[in-house]
Structure 1
Amino acid sequence: MIDLRPIAIRTLLSALLVTVLAFGQSAQAQDGAALFADKCATCHKPDKDLTGPALKGVEDRVKDKEALHAWIRNPQKVLASGNKYFNDLYIKWNKVPMNANPQLTDEEIDAILAYVEAYQPKVAGNAGGNVVVEEKDNSILYGILTLILAVVALVMLQVNSNLKKLADEKEGIPAGEPVPFYLNKTYIALVVIILFIIGGFNLTKGLIGLGRQQDYQPDQPIFYSHKVHAGVNQINCLYCHGGAMEGKHANIPSLNVCMNCHMTVNEYTGETLYRENGEEVDGTAEIQKIYAAVGYDPASKQYTGDAKGIEWVKIHSLPDHVYFNHSQHVAVGGVQCQTCHGDIQNMDVVKQFSDLSMGWCVNCHRETKVNFGGENGEGNKFYSLYEKFHNEIKEGKRDSVTVADIGGTECQKCHY
C-alpha cells in the first residue's frame, strides 16, 4: 500500500513555497515604488522636474553605475571628489544639497532605478481631469491560490487515510475509524496557529496606526488652492505661515493676511479648479466667502463689521506628548516645507503627506545632516561646541554630522 501522506505534505509545502516566492516577486516589484516614495518622492518625480530633476533616464545620463550609487549614498563626498557631471548638476539646481542615503544597499538602489525607468502612469479620464495612477495588487489572488492548494492538500490527506483503512481491512489488520479532519488535533492546532499569526499581525498593524491620519484630506469651508497661491502665483509659504520661521507653530493665517491681496483681487481668472470628486469650483464665489467671513463689502470697499470668521479644519496633528518646533526645523535646520508636507505647491486640496510617526521622525534625524560648518567658519556657530566631531572631520574619519549624532534620537528631545 502506497502511503500518500508524504506526497500530500510535500504538495502543501510546495504550495506554500510557491506562494512565498510569488509574494517575494510581488514585494520586490513594489519595493522600488515604496523606497522611491520614502526616500526620493519629496524632491523628485520620475517624469518631471520638482525640487530636483526628473529621474527617468538617469541611468542613460550616468553611465558609471558605481558613481551613481555613490552619489545617491553620499552626494557631498562625490561633489568633493570633483565629479564633473554631478558638480554641474549641483550648480544647475541652485546648489540645493541632496539628502544622503548611506543606509541604502545596491539592491535597494537598483530597485528604485528600475521603478523609475519602468514608471508609466495610467491615466483614467474623469470629470476633474485629475490623473489617476493605477497600481495592481495581487495579494488577494495569491491568497486564493494558497487557500485552494491547502484545501487540495487536506483532501489528499483524507483520501490517503481512507485508502489506508481499506487496505488494512483487506489484510485483516484491525484499524480504528479515521478521525475527521475537523476533529484532527494536528489540523486544529495548525489552523489556530495560522489564525493567531494573522490576527496578531493585523492587530499590531492596526494598533501602530492608531491616531495616524496619513492622506487625510478634509473639505474646508472655503476652497483654498495651494497650487494657485504657492505654485502659480509663487507666494512664499512664510508670507501666510510666518510662525513656521519664528515660532513653534506654523499658524493658520488670519483673514487680514488674505485681505492684503483680496482687497483688489476679487475675481478668479485662472485655470478651472476641481474638487477631488471632480466637481468644478467657482473660484470667484470662493473669494466672496472670504468677504462674508471678514465682513467686507467689495462694492463699497468698506468693512461692515459683520465678521463671521472661518472654521478651518485642522489637518496635521501630533499627540499631546510630542514636542515639535517649526522654527527649530525651518530656521535652524533649513528643512524645506515639502520634506514634511509633500508637493504642497501642486496641491489644490491639501492632504497629510507624511504619516508623522515616531519612526518617520527618527529616520529623518538619522539621515539629515546638520549645517556643521568647517574650517572656513561657515555653518551654525552653536556646533563649534562639538570639538570631537570637528576633529573627526579634519582627520577624515567622517564627512558629515547628522541630527542623530548630536542627540536627535534621544527620547527627551521630543518627549518631556
Structure 2
Amino acid sequence: MSEAQGLLRGEPTEGHHRVTYVELFFDLVFVFAVTQLSHTLVEHFDGPTMLRTGILMVAVWWVWIDTSWATNWLDPDRPQVRAVLFGMMLAGLALSTSIPDAFGQRAPAFGVSYALMQIGRSAFVVAAIPGGEAALRMNFRRILAWHCAAGLLWIVGGFVEGNARLWVWGLATALQCIAPILKFWVPGLGASAVSDWKVEGGHMAERCGLFIIIALGESILVTGATFGKTEWSGWTVTAFVSSFVASLAMWWIYFDLGAEAGSRELADSDDPGRLARLAYTYLHLPIVAGVIITAVGDEFVLAHPDGAGEAKTLATVVGGPLVFLAGTLLFKRAVRGWLQLSHLTGIAVLVALLAAAPLTLRLSPAALSLLATLVLIVVAAWESRSLAPRGTGTSAKHE
C-alpha cells in the first residue's frame, strides 16, 4: 500500500473487498446487543418500553452501519484500524450491557459509550484519510460534526431524569436519522455530494447481510434456549418447530434472491452512494426490527403455546413478520425497481390477521404462530418460483 493511500483499502484484486475476520469479530458485540434488545421487550412488553427499546435499537443500528461505512474505505487489516475497532468493541460491550436499564441507573454508561463510539471512530477516520482524498476527508469532517452534536445529546440524556431523557435521546436519534438525508450539511462546510460516496457495493451488501444473520441467529438462540427450559409437550414442540421454520423462511426471503440482487445492483450502480444510503442504511433497519420482534413473539409462544392468545402475542407473532416483509419489500423495490406481488400479498394477509383480532385471539399462540409461519413460507416459495427461472430482469415484474 502506498503512502498516499494511508489506511485506506486498495483496489480489490478480484470481485469485491472481502469481509475481514476483524469485522466479523467486531460484530460479536452486536450479537449481544440484539439479544439485550429482545430480552428487554420480553420482560416488559408495554407501550413505554416499546418506545424506549425502539430508540435504543435505532441507536445500535446506526453505530453499526456507520462503522460499516467507515470500514468500506478503511482497511481493517491495518493495525491502527484494528485498534480502533477493538476499542469500539469495549465501548460496545458497555453499551450493550447497559441496554436493559438504559433508561434507568445505567443511562450515563449507555450515553457516554454511544458518544465515544460515534465521535471516536469519526475523528479517527478524519485523521486517517490522506490529503489526496480531499472530498472524502471533508465528508467525514461533516459527519464528525453531526456526531459531536448528537453525541452531546446522548451524554446529556444520560444524566437527566424522567421524560426529559426520552425527549433528549429521541432528538439525538432524529439527528442521526436525518443527517444522511441532509447530506451532512454543516454551516461553513456545506453539504457532501452523494456522488462522492464511492462505496464498494459487494462489501457493503455482504456486511448488511451479516447483520441479518446476527438477528436471525439471535432468534434461533432464543428459541432453543426457551424450548430447553420448558416442559415438552405437543404444543411446545409445535411452537418450537414453527419458530425455527419461520427463521428459515425469513432467511430464504432475504438471502435466496434478494441479497444477491442487491449486491449486484449496488456494484453496477452509477450512483452507488445514493443506493447504499437508501437500500442498506435505511431500509435494512425495519428488516432487522422485524426479526427481533419475531424472536420476542417466539418466546411468548413457547412460554404459553396453548390456551387463549394475548394481545402481546398477536402483536409480535404477526407484527414481526409484517415489519420484516415491509422492510424486504421496500429493499427489493429499491434494488429491483418494482413492488413484488408475493410480498404485498403476504403483508395483506398479516394485516388481515391483526385486523381480525377478536377472532385470531381465540386461536392458541402455537396455532397463530403456524399461520404467520405459513405466510412467510408462501411468500418465499412464490418469489423463488416466479423470479429464479428468469433472473431479475423486467420480465419478472409479473410475479
TM-score if structure 1 supplies the norm length? 0.21
TM-score if structure 2 supplies the norm length? 0.22
More helix by share: 2
